[in-house]
Structure 1
Amino acid sequence: MPPERGLHRSYTVIHCFVLVELVIMAGTVMLAYYFEYTDTFNVHVQGFFCYDSSYTKPYPGPEEISAIPPALLYSVVAGVPTLVIFITECVVFFLQIATKDFENREKTIVTGDCCYLNPLVRRTVRFIGVYTFGLFATDIFVNAGQVVTGNLAPHFLTVCKPNYTNLGCQQTIRFISNQEACTGNVDDIIRARKTFPSKEAALSVYAALYLAMYITSTMKAKGSRLAKPVLCLGLMCMAFLTGVNRVAEYRNHWSDVIAGFIIAVAIAAFLAVCVVHNFKRRHSESEKTQLDNLRNKPMINLPRVASPMEKYPPAVQNHITFAEVT
């Protein structure tokens, strides 16, 4: 293949990447940091009824002793999709070189006299960059929902330890909206007010859905029609079990988990469909020719009926035709 056929010159790709995409990514990371590790945004103080059975579940302990601790969840969510995307893009790139499949390979972008962006770097940065942006966007949406709603965890009253006698709950069931009604550990109380939506459920479903869309749309596995569906369904099942575990340990309500699922599905679907345009693979020239032939081919092929004249020799056919005319 001539070198010029695989090159595409562009002087704006680097400037667009540095001035736009990196700025957006930096702003997203900073906003997620402020939500996660600072007190810039105060959690809404939601009231509760005395002896409300919805919030009297036993305290499951700190997050570190959970069946799916945050360190394990964040490592899997951040590391597994990145590793899978990188390995897949490398394998596809070198297979295209080995088989000389240049029709399906993207062009190398020339950004100057000495700067080249080959398809491997472009595709890897595109997929991983969009995934990382969506991961931080999911975290921002979830943290914003937790701060605004201040929804109470199933074990809230267990860590709140309200003094029902001083609150006047002995005579009648009252609605307590006093911020100083709790006497328990302040950090545990704040964490128990940040449950809607469930962050763990949202991040796990986002990672599983994005990776499932990537695998379905980019991997070409010939010979097995069930390999990709089984792999994608396995990823989704593990993400669903993360939400089930949150409910089983009394750390979230079902409504918290479902809200996290909805946010993650919406963000992953939007990024996969509207942002990443290369989920749909390109057709080669031979495939395009076959598709064009199929489009031009008639839908119904009627059987051919032989004419009675074809049963006779040509001389007899001419005699019969002359007789019919006269």
Structure 2
Amino acid sequence: MPPKQLSRKQQRKLYTSLAGELVIMAGTVMLAYYFEYTDTFSVHVQGFFCYDTAYTKPYLGPEESSAVPPILLYAVVAGLPTLLITITETVLFLVQYTSKEFDRSEKTVATGDCCYLNPLVRRTFRFLGVYTFGLFTVDIFVNAGQVVTGNLAPYFLTICKPNYTALGCQQALRYISHQEACTGNQDDIMRARKTFPSKEAALSVYAALYLAMYVTCTVQAKGTRLAKPVLSLGLVCMAFLTGLNRVAEYRNHWSDVIAGFIIGSAIATFLVVCVVHNFKGKLLLSDDSPMEPQPTIGMLNMGRMESPLEKYIASQVSASFTIRHLTCSK
């Protein structure tokens, strides 16, 4: 079957939509970059009470020494969904390609006068593109929350090293609000002011829920009734353990981790339900729906059976007409 050609109006609409999506994606990436690697947005300086035990936990070293270092987290969050979605879409495409229905299906989808896009590539790029957009969106939400709140890490006073004598901390309830109170390393202090919400918790639960919903909604093969929930629960458990590790290492408060879980879950649910529609888009090889039989002239001219109610109404009308006719003749 030859590929389906799009009209000029459809091509123009497609190109406009694609250009708009690229602009939105580029803007999202740039905003995430400014939040992450520049000082464009200054962090709110939150004060503290002298000798506050909520911020005197031990400092276990930089993020690279954590049980879940950033390089491992980012590699899993970026690599695992890409690998899993690509393999799953390829297997589904090959299964449908070798089925008997392939002969009456479209092999390609036309996107212009000269460009044709394989349905496998189209679906894979769609799901991975939405996933990537969600990753940057989670990063923006988390960085915005950290910049606005400036919430302090549990180990803040350990690296802040304030001079309690010079600050006049004879009483524990004295509130210190100026930034010059800390004498420790300024880079470590700045990182300790950006903990709410937890970025690691948000990214991990976003990736886990997106993949769990993808596997649940897409894989419909026999024998996966138990494998799908096991895989989904395993992914969610990994995300939960990531947040738990942040609290155990005194790098985040429980409130930071819970807020990160809420942000990641909300964005993943919104994208799956409202953007990719539970991954229920067009089939890999979209079958041409059979033409509905059009009523022929003979069928239109066929007599219609009257119901008992219609027969009763017709008899009453006929009887009334007969009585009126006899009355007028007299």
Query: So what's the TM-score if we normalise by structure 2?
Result: 0.81
In structure 2, the residue matched to 1:184 is: 184
Q: Which moved more, 1:269-278 or 1:147-156?
A: 269-278
Which residue of the partner structure matches residue 155 of structure 1? Answer: 155
1:7–1:107: 8 Å Cα contact kept in structure 2? no
Residue 220 (structure 1) shift: 1.8
Asked whether the equivalents of residues 210 and 272 of structure 1 are also in contact (C-alpha less than 8 Å), the reply is yes
1:28-47 aligned at under 5 Å gives the runs 28-47=28-47
Q: Does 1:7 align with 2:4?
A: yes
Aligned residue number for residue 193 of structure 1: 193
| Distance apart, 1:178 and its partner CA | 1.0
CA distance in structure 1 between the aligned counterparts of 2:62 and 2:103, rounded to whole angstroms:
54
2:4 maps to a residue whose letter is L
Write the distance in 2 (CA, Å) between the matches of 1:106 and 1:96.
Answer: 11
* Residue 50 (str. 1) matches residue 37 (str. 2): no
Q: Measured at CA, do residues 101 and 239 of structure 1 come closer, stay the same or move farther in structure 2, by a change above 3 Å?
A: farther
SS at match of 1:134: helix
User: What are structure 1's unaligned runs of at least 5 residues?
Assistant: 289-326
Q: Quick one: distance in 1 between partners of 2:252 and 2:81?
A: 26
Q: For the residues of structure 1 that align with 2:157 and 2:34, how far apart are their CA atoms?
A: 28
Shift of 1:115: 1.0
Structure 1 residue 117 displacement after superposition: 1.5
Indicate yes or no: 2:78 matched with 1:67: no
Displacement of 1:94:
1.3
Amino acid at match of 1:78: A
Structure 2 matches for 1:192-271, cutoff 5 A?
A: 192-271=192-271
Q: Cα distance 1:118–1:250, how it changes in 2: closer, same or farther (>3 A)?
A: same
- CA shift at 1:193, angstroms? 0.3
Equivalent-residue separation in structure 2 for 1:54 and 1:105 (angstroms): 63
Equivalenced residue count is 283
Contact kept in structure 1, 2:51 and 2:172, CA below 8 Å: no
**% identity of equivalent residues:** 75
Pair 1:99 & 2:96 matched: no
8 Å CA contact 1:8–1:107 kept in 2: the answer is: no
Shift of 1:18: 4.0
Contact 2:109 2:117 in 1 (8 A): yes
Instruction: Report the Cα distance in structure 1 between the residues aligned to 2:240 and 2:65, rounded to whole angstroms.
Output: 20
Distance 1:185 1:101 in 2: 66
Give the 3 Å change call, closer, same or farther, for CA 87–156 of structure 1 in structure 2: same
TM superposition shift of 1:101: 3.6
SS at match of 1:170: coil
- How far apart are 1:84 and its partner, in Å? 0.7
Equivalent residues of 2:214, 2:278 under 8 A apart: no
Q: Is the CA contact 1:8–1:108 (under 8 Å) kept in the aligned structure 2? A: no
**Structure 2 spans left out of the alignment, 5+ residues:** 291-330
- Give the Cα separation in 1 of the matches to 2:138 and 2:58: 29
Residues 68, 242 of structure 2: 8 Å contact kept: yes
Contact 2:5 2:113 in 1 (8 A): no
For residues 175 and 83 of structure 1, the distance between their equivalents in structure 2, rounded to whole angstroms, comes to 51
Q: Distance in 2 between matches of 1:48 and 1:103?
A: 71
Which range moved further: 101-110 or 170-179? Answer: 101-110
Q: 1:35 to 1:282 in 2, by over 3 A?
A: closer
